[in-house]
Chain A
């Protein structure tokens, strides 16, 4: 059953190929259905492979490498295009394909009537194929192929409505920030290859002895740079908020559920490497905690519904980094999966709201939508409570797991995490209050303003979305609600998180807290979450205008863009201008022109020899002969 694994990336890739060839002819909605079918197929295959893996006894047997072909055979560098099927990659593959299938389905409705409808699904399918390559690859370089593939798809999809300047700019911004991370990935690969002579994960882990503490820390920090770029952590996080310029399903799929978790996945995959460097782990954990806190504060002051969710995503990813740094890889993956469910759901719900309001994204122009979009409201609320950490929803368990481990290992970071949890409940409830409670403030949105989503229909009141969009909401709501059940200690034989343990081996840290401590921490978490929720509802349901609670510093995301602009952007632009105007125009082009002039002048000069007179030609022959003779005779009598 494991041998069908290659179909997982292949099916979406085939979908991409078909759409590339005949997508335009298939048009709306068949292109969307084809794309959805191909991804659903991949999901089915993933289930089959998963079942096959479960059928094997736990331990080293639950690992299977499928070699597709030898990709780069260059001397010592033998890179194969091969898939590594193990509990970690299959967990990723399952939720990636599952969530992707749902979001594809949703997009059929959301993107309806868009002029580039087939192109959207073409990119989406290519994205899923790349993402699967990323998580299934058995070596770093093949992972990097997927890594770059998702990066470029993300760029295309953020800038999908590239006629809008802001979208085009946001696409470029995302791409450039990601390139910085990619550089880290590349250098890390070089170092690893230099030390171990292989890029194969298993091969690298077998040669970990080759790394000294310095080299290991360097590699880990470079990998952290890569992960920070892809997963939008400090200092590379600003791109994710701008990425919300893309269509909402893209935000849900790429910028919440799947691609942005690639950084966390990479660090989890390289866990034996991280185990070598405690320093790097502290850096990762601190970076995660700080990012979680900073992003949460920013989310408190945003007015755009998608921006709130974007910063929330950054914050949640920060939790995952905290978990990775702690060594609680299982907890990181658990939150990643739970987050994929509830954040995907939040984005799809917000998409439904935006769709219902003809493209309005400003929270201040919503309000009381629970009356008009009942199903959206119910599903959205489940996700909201889940992310806020209200028991017994999935978010509570996932976040609790991380905080427990942090408490045991880095109490200071646990404190930051706890504050962030309160903020999380607060900003999510603020969002919920502004969007679904209070008075009707959406007239302006519906008074004929052009939409920026796929929605173009004119309604006099907000309208509920079509069925294709609602089905994914319901499914995800179900998962977001019950997802936490995965972590409960049901029975020793059923331990869904434990099945990941063999992948991490000794690198895994599992805090063994006493039962009572665990209970106390759980209660604290719940109290904090409920407190945040209560405060926000009190503040925001009645009065949506509270500028004192939305300081500009936070609304402008700690002025980080200004800082980068002043520190890097403007000097960089000046340097580029200098290079273009002075170095390129004058020095390089000048040299080129000079050489051209010189050669031309030489040619023109030489041409004087070419007089057309035979006697002169003969003279030159004589000169040549005499020259040759003279030279040869110097050889004869040295």
Chain B
């Protein structure tokens, strides 16, 4: 099955025919990113504050339009394989393009407000986001494991830098470093998985893998299955599935809030797109082998995400765990491994993107200068102080909790019914239970916003969880050289309540620790004087509109996801 060398050489010498429309959104984002970078290097003055954001919105808008043209084209002529089999050009990839470019527009609007508040000049932020988004698009379109890896790295490396973007906050750097170290680790695992699959099938091309599996019965497919396991682990890291999720809360908390929103939306979309495509189309025949593994991952992800979110005081950490819980729901669709499952997963990703970007946009505003106000107490009474912000967050959180007349409800319903249709009843029950647990922490924030007299968490939350602050940041563990024995002992034996205090940056980490700094000490409260930048307001408004309008009239999005799956 190994293609003979002559053909391979031949292909490398001969340029493949490329239908540029099939990769147009990616090209637009890449070209746009380079253009902005170039202009800001050569003509710094042209990049007045806001200009980069404007450019980004325009460029991603162009990418969105290109994606819509692609949709038209794909609907008319059906799916195709382009660029010598490296890229799939189908409904699925186009949906990812649409989603990623929409997310990019929203994030650019949100990020600009953040940049100006933090007094940072940074076309680089926008450039990196465009590049990262392009990586996600590549992952969605990749029809070859190598291309998947390429997209993954484009996406991730930009995200590492983005996470570190706030150079004034040590947590930002810490988040980036953790993300980078663990990301590198899991990329290696992923790459090894590719190697094993190649070894077993002789190809990295997804359709060819599927063909190979269809035509050959492998008696001892340990190599292939090991490869699949490693690929699953690699994807699991990217989409934050338990137990590969541990980076998520730290990184979400440390990163600049707009980046967190972007990361939560785009990285997950890219990761899940590739995961769905690889597993359902290439390894579809082996589903009996990997379904139980995904089952366990999904169940763990659903439950751990919900349970851990319960005990968080920091809203960004809470949303991080909530995004882990959401990942579990998307995994339900994969576990079903049916076209209905895929379409419900796509639908879930679609609506999730808008809910999560909107929620993090509000969190960014409330967080204030220096991202300092993320304690749940900062939301106390927000309903009367900032009625619009509070109402927006309330709607977005209710959508995440899956309350009817929001997109979140139908999304949960779709994945759960797909799971039930695929006879994964127990998993569906687990998902519903986790949604029940999750409702608690979403509603807790809403109650705090509207019932400020609510006694401190004791009554709302769980009475015995008084130690809500854990050493969320222990830089020492991440930095070689500070790994002294005391820190080691403290970290391991302190039953999770000791902050590593030996490292330079850990003073900050200590301050984050609610054991050390009690919850009542809230560094400034949100005031009516905090203006919501226009861009942020527009972004929140768009997210709300999508969440509510498509929650009431879900037809178009459901059709979109369904057709995208049909043209797969």
> In this assembly, does B404 line the interface, its C-beta being within 8 Å of a C-beta of chain A?
no
B185 touches A621 (CB 8 A): yes
Instruction: Give bound CA distance, A600 to B437, whole Å.
Output: 10
Identify A632's interface contact among B220, B236, B250, B293, CB under 8 A: B293
A629 touches B246 (CB 8 A): no
A604 touches B467 (CB 8 A): yes
Q: Which 7 A-B pairs have the closest CB atoms?
A: A600-B462, A613-B477, A612-B474, A636-B222, A632-B225, A628-B229, A617-B246
A615 touches B477 (CB 8 A): yes
Render B64-87 as a binary contact track against A, CB cut-off 8 A, 1 for contact: 000000000000000000000000
Q: Which residues of A contact B (CB under 8 A)?
A: 596-597, 599-604, 606-618, 620-621, 623-625, 627-629, 631-633, 635-637
A607 touches B311 (CB 8 A): yes
> In this assembly, does B523 line the interface, its C-beta being within 8 Å of a C-beta of chain A?
no
User: Which B residues between 196 and 223 are near A, CB-CB below 8 angstroms?
Assistant: 220-222
CB distance from B324 to the nearest CB of A (A): 11
A621 touches B244 (CB 8 A): yes
| B side interface size, CB within 8 A | 59
Contacts of B308 in A (CB 8 A): 603, 606-607, 610
B246 touches A637 (CB 8 A): no
Identify A600's interface contact among B225, B311, B472, CB under 8 A: B311
With A600-B311, A629-B229, A636-B222 known as contacts, the answer to whether A618 contacts B182 (CB < 8 A) is yes
Identify B310's interface contact among A599, A611, A637, CB under 8 A: A599
A633 touches B225 (CB 8 A): yes
Instruction: Give bound CA distance, A620 to B293, whole Å.
Output: 16
Render B445-477 as a binary contact track against A, CB cut-off 8 A, 1 for contact: 000000000000000011111010011111011
Identify B243's interface contact among A601, A602, A624, A629, CB under 8 A: A624
Instruction: Give bound CA distance, A609 to B492, whole Å.
Output: 10
CB distance from B29 to the nearest CB of A (A): 30
> In this assembly, does B16 line the interface, its C-beta being within 8 Å of a C-beta of chain A?
no
With A613-B491, A624-B236, A624-B243 known as contacts, the answer to whether A604 contacts B229 (CB < 8 A) is no
Residue of A602, A604, A609, A615 with most partner-chain B CB within 10 A:
A604
> In this assembly, does B319 line the interface, its C-beta being within 8 Å of a C-beta of chain A?
no
Instruction: Give bound CA distance, A596 to B243, whole Å.
Output: 23
> In this assembly, does B255 line the interface, its C-beta being within 8 Å of a C-beta of chain A?
no
Identify B289's interface contact among A597, A615, A632, CB under 8 A: A632
Identify B228's interface contact among A617, A625, A632, CB under 8 A: A632
CB distance from B158 to the nearest CB of A (A): 21
B470 touches A612 (CB 8 A): yes
With A608-B495, A614-B477, A631-B229 known as contacts, the answer to whether A637 contacts B464 (CB < 8 A) is no
B243 touches A623 (CB 8 A): yes
B474 touches A613 (CB 8 A): yes
B311 touches A604 (CB 8 A): yes
B470 touches A607 (CB 8 A): yes
Instruction: Give bound CA distance, A609 to B248, whole Å.
Output: 13
From DSSP, what is the main secondary structure of chain B's interface residues? helix
Contacts of A603 in B (CB 8 A): 307-311, 462, 465
Contacts of A615 in B (CB 8 A): 477
Instruction: Give bound CA distance, A310 to B246, whole Å.
Output: 75
Contacts of A624 in B (CB 8 A): 233, 236, 243-244
User: Which B residues between 232 and 251 are near A, CB-CB below 8 angstroms?
Assistant: 232-233, 236-237, 243-244, 246-247, 249-250
CB distance from B467 to the nearest CB of A (A): 7
Query: What are 14 A-B contacts defined by CB distance under 8 Å?
Result: A600-B462, A600-B465, A603-B308, A604-B464, A611-B471, A611-B496, A613-B476, A614-B177, A614-B478, A615-B477, A624-B236, A624-B243, A631-B229, A632-B229
> In this assembly, does B230 line the interface, its C-beta being within 8 Å of a C-beta of chain A?
yes
> In this assembly, does B90 line the interface, its C-beta being within 8 Å of a C-beta of chain A?
no
B243 touches A621 (CB 8 A): yes
Contacts of A617 in B (CB 8 A): 178, 182, 246-247
From DSSP, what is the main secondary structure of chain A's interface residues? helix
Instruction: Give bound CA distance, A612 to B254, whole Å.
Output: 12
CB distance from B273 to the nearest CB of A (A): 21
Instruction: Give bound CA distance, A596 to B311, whole Å.
Output: 11
CB distance from B16 to the nearest CB of A (A): 34
With A599-B310, A614-B182 known as contacts, the answer to whether A635 contacts B243 (CB < 8 A) is no
CB distance from A611 to the nearest CB of B (A): 6
With A600-B464, A628-B293 known as contacts, the answer to whether A611 contacts B477 (CB < 8 A) is yes
Given contacts A600-B465, A606-B308, 13 further A-B contacts (CB under 8 A): A602-B307, A608-B495, A608-B496, A611-B470, A611-B492, A614-B181, A617-B246, A624-B233, A628-B233, A631-B292, A631-B293, A632-B225, A633-B222
Contacts of A608 in B (CB 8 A): 495-496
Residue of A612, A617, A623, A636 with most partner-chain B CB within 10 A:
A612
Contacts of B185 in A (CB 8 A): 618, 621
With A631-B292, A632-B226 known as contacts, the answer to whether A621 contacts B462 (CB < 8 A) is no
Contacts of A602 in B (CB 8 A): 307
Instruction: Give bound CA distance, A628 to B231, whole Å.
Output: 10
Instruction: Give bound CA distance, A185 to B268, whole Å.
Output: 56
Contacts of A629 in B (CB 8 A): 226, 229-230
CB distance from B313 to the nearest CB of A (A): 12
A610 touches B244 (CB 8 A): no
CB distance from B179 to the nearest CB of A (A): 10
Instruction: Give bound CA distance, A632 to B293, whole Å.
Output: 8
> In this assembly, does B189 line the interface, its C-beta being within 8 Å of a C-beta of chain A?
yes
CB distance from B246 to the nearest CB of A (A): 4
CB distance from B346 to the nearest CB of A (A): 24
A625 touches B222 (CB 8 A): no
Instruction: Give bound CA distance, A606 to B463, whole Å.
Output: 17
> In this assembly, does B389 line the interface, its C-beta being within 8 Å of a C-beta of chain A?
no
Instruction: Give bound CA distance, A624 to B232, whole Å.
Output: 10
Instruction: Give bound CA distance, A627 to B233, whole Å.
Output: 10
Render B475-489 as a binary contact track against A, CB cut-off 8 A, 1 for contact: 011100000000000
Residue of A602, A603, A637 with most partner-chain B CB within 10 A:
A603
CB distance from B184 to the nearest CB of A (A): 10
Residue of B307, B465, B471, B473 with most partner-chain A CB within 10 A:
B307
> In this assembly, does B304 line the interface, its C-beta being within 8 Å of a C-beta of chain A?
yes
User: Which B residues between 300 and 336 are near A, CB-CB below 8 angstroms?
Assistant: 304, 307-311
Instruction: Give bound CA distance, A597 to B181, whole Å.
Output: 36
> In this assembly, does B568 line the interface, its C-beta being within 8 Å of a C-beta of chain A?
no
CB distance from A497 to the nearest CB of B (A): 55
> In this assembly, does B93 line the interface, its C-beta being within 8 Å of a C-beta of chain A?
no
A625 touches B473 (CB 8 A): no
CB distance from A618 to the nearest CB of B (A): 6
Instruction: Give bound CA distance, A637 to B218, whole Å.
Output: 12
A621 touches B233 (CB 8 A): yes
Instruction: Give bound CA distance, A610 to B468, whole Å.
Output: 12
> In this assembly, does B282 line the interface, its C-beta being within 8 Å of a C-beta of chain A?
no
Instruction: Give bound CA distance, A209 to B460, whole Å.
Output: 60
Instruction: Give bound CA distance, A618 to B461, whole Å.
Output: 31
With A611-B496, A631-B292 known as contacts, the answer to whether A621 contacts B237 (CB < 8 A) is yes
Render B124-138 as a binary contact track against A, CB cut-off 8 A, 1 for contact: 000000000000000
List the B residue with the shortest CB-CB distance to A596: B462
> In this assembly, does B112 line the interface, its C-beta being within 8 Å of a C-beta of chain A?
no
With A631-B292, A635-B289 known as contacts, the answer to whether A606 contacts B229 (CB < 8 A) is no
> In this assembly, does B144 line the interface, its C-beta being within 8 Å of a C-beta of chain A?
no
List the A residue with the shortest CB-CB distance to B321: A603
Instruction: Give bound CA distance, A102 to B246, whole Å.
Output: 78
Instruction: Give bound CA distance, A323 to B228, whole Å.
Output: 83
> In this assembly, does B397 line the interface, its C-beta being within 8 Å of a C-beta of chain A?
no
With A621-B182, A628-B229 known as contacts, the answer to whether A637 contacts B477 (CB < 8 A) is no
Instruction: Give bound CA distance, A596 to B247, whole Å.
Output: 26
List the B residue with the shortest CB-CB distance to A635: B289
Contacts of A625 in B (CB 8 A): 189, 229-230, 233
> In this assembly, does B143 line the interface, its C-beta being within 8 Å of a C-beta of chain A?
no
CB distance from A636 to the nearest CB of B (A): 4
Instruction: Give bound CA distance, A413 to B493, whole Å.
Output: 91
CB distance from A597 to the nearest CB of B (A): 6
CB distance from B265 to the nearest CB of A (A): 23
Contacts of B462 in A (CB 8 A): 596-597, 599-601, 603-604
